[in-house]
Structure 1
Amino acid sequence: MTTVLRITFLLALAYGGFCLLLFATQRSYIYFPPPTSPTDPATALMLDAGGVPIHVSAHAQQAGDAVLYLGGNAEDVDASLPELAAAFPGRALYLMHYRSYGASGGKPSERALVADALLLFERLRGSHRNITVVGRSLGSGIAIQLAAQRPVERLVLVTPYNSVAEIAALHFPYVPVAWLLRDKYESWRHASEVQAPTTLIAAGQDEVIPRASTEMLATHFKPGVAVLQVVKGAGHNTIGLQGQYVALLAGAH
């Protein structure tokens, strides 16, 4: 074997090993469970998802209408309670902790998290007339699939993406992401099936989700269904600190 062939072989072997490593560890790049905070039994709703406990923080459960919140990939959803309570006064609030987050068991995956969200929605339908679904960042990809399959009252997507596969390809441009990625969260595939009024809230200075990705997602909804709002000067993780954020959650345009 010539030196050139030997080097080429070693490079190919290293590249293949890198791709294999990414494939094996890919979910560690998507899901970042935050440190577990104490669970208040008085405000905890536990679902049984086929033997896996799913922790849901619940507030004002006796209200007639409800909000189901699906957070970001590294978010302790309880931290979002103040702005949700301000945006949706008088509504019951349900904040789902993904698998391995909070007191939830199991391991997260796209299929599992969407199934858990559907399970929670069906649980809430028995006691609430109208349910608004709010999905932030990673949660936007779960929320849009839920809204495509169930009669939600309204859908709010905060810093949403067209697909996680596209975002991953930006970070790993020399890797065949489309072949390797298991959890693609292709939100664009589900947008046209959403019937509920939808608000997309983008951060003007989002350093994680490119504005083009959010704008592309908006084009996949049926005409008149979705409206895109941009919070100028906000970053991906600081959008909740902006004054207009609560108003946009509430539906003020």
Structure 2
Amino acid sequence: MKQILRKISILLLLGYVGSGLFLYINQRSLLYFPTPILPTEHPEMTLQNEGESINFIVLNEGNQDAIIYFGGNAESMARSSDEIARQFPAFTVYLMDYRGYGRSTGDPSEEGLYSDALKLYDAIRSKYESISIGGRSLGSGIAVYVAAHREVSKLALITPYDSIVNVAKGMYPLFPISSLLHDEYNAISMVKDIKAKTLIIMAENDTVIEKERTHQLIDAFDTALLEVITIKNRGHIDISSDSSYYKSMQDFIGQE
């Protein structure tokens, strides 16, 4: 009997270690979901950064104010471009293809995406009276980073999190996630450096980003700078199908 229990214990241990090793080796393929190259009728621009070519789709050129938008981890900027252009006609909008997404080269990583985001901001800053930042899901962490390191007019965060580490802990509670993850996206640690007025939009039925993760981020903000909206009867994926989704951002950013 003891030998049987010992063998079972060894098998369980090997299974645990093997699963942890699988998560460690494949963590970026579980976090990032690169999108294919898709056609768009909107202009595109490319910036060279750290040996990679980073592609941006540019909407509504010629306006005096700009928005930089960082999408979700499986959100195609080419597919989203027409709707975003229609919703924000008074702003020139920049949509970044993350490294390895769309027409951008390279492999996505937290450090790389942060660097590319600042590269774009610095490249266009002198052209506009103001630049606002938007980020959805994965992109909310990048948006927080830019807002913490550059002057931003408004900051809009859709289904955001406090950190990817905490999100992953909820998904894989049996593993030492803090020791395994390369990309932490510790948004909550950067909130103290944000001076811009901020809008957070939550989905009532979000099953991807737990409410606790968003509420922890909310609690870190200066309440004088923060507005929070919850869209009822919508989840993480279909939040943008609600009529109040874009209206909330338009009202916040100052577009009639």
Shorter-chain TM-score bucket reads over 0.9
TM-score (norm 1): 0.94
Whether 1:234 and 2:230 are equivalent positions in the alignment is no
Secondary structure in 2 matching 1:219? helix
Whether 1:104 and 2:104 are equivalent positions in the alignment is yes
Which amino acid counterpart does residue 134 of structure 1 have in structure 2? G
Q: Distance in 1 between matches of 2:31 and 2:135?
A: 16
The alpha carbon displacement at 1:2 in A equals: 4.0
Deviations 1:50-105 (A, max 9, x none): 22000100123322110101000001023333443344322111000000101000
Q: Which runs of 5+ in 1 are unaligned?
A: none
Aligned to 2:171: 171
Aligned to 1:182: 182
Which amino acid counterpart does residue 26 of structure 2 have in structure 1? T
Tell me if the contact between 1:218 and 1:227 (Cα under 8 Å) persists in the aligned partners. no
Aligned to 1:61: 61
RMSD, matched Cα: 1.8
The alpha carbon displacement at 1:44 in A equals: 0.7
Whether 1:120 and 2:98 are equivalent positions in the alignment is no
Q: How many residues align?
A: 252
Q: Which runs of 4+ in 1 moved over 6 A?
A: none
Q: Distance in 2 between matches of 1:234 and 1:2?
A: 52
Which amino acid counterpart does residue 211 of structure 1 have in structure 2? K
Aligned to 2:35: 34
The alpha carbon displacement at 1:170 in A equals: 1.4
Tell me if the contact between 2:40 and 2:81 (Cα under 8 Å) persists in the aligned partners. no
Tell me if the contact between 1:65 and 1:91 (Cα under 8 Å) persists in the aligned partners. yes
The alpha carbon displacement at 1:252 in A equals: 4.3
Aligned to 1:92: 92
Q: Distance in 2 between matches of 1:170 and 1:34?
A: 26
Secondary structure in 1 matching 2:127? coil
Q: 1:210-221 residue pairs with structure 2 within 5 A?
A: 210-221=210-221
Q: Which runs of 5+ in 2 are unaligned?
A: none
The alpha carbon displacement at 1:201 in A equals: 0.5
Aligned to 2:222: 222
Which amino acid counterpart does residue 49 of structure 1 have in structure 2? N
Q: Distance in 2 between matches of 1:39 and 1:241?
A: 21
Q: Distance in 1 between matches of 2:202 and 2:83?
A: 16
TM-score (norm 2): 0.93
Identify, as 1 or 2, the structure richer in helix.
2
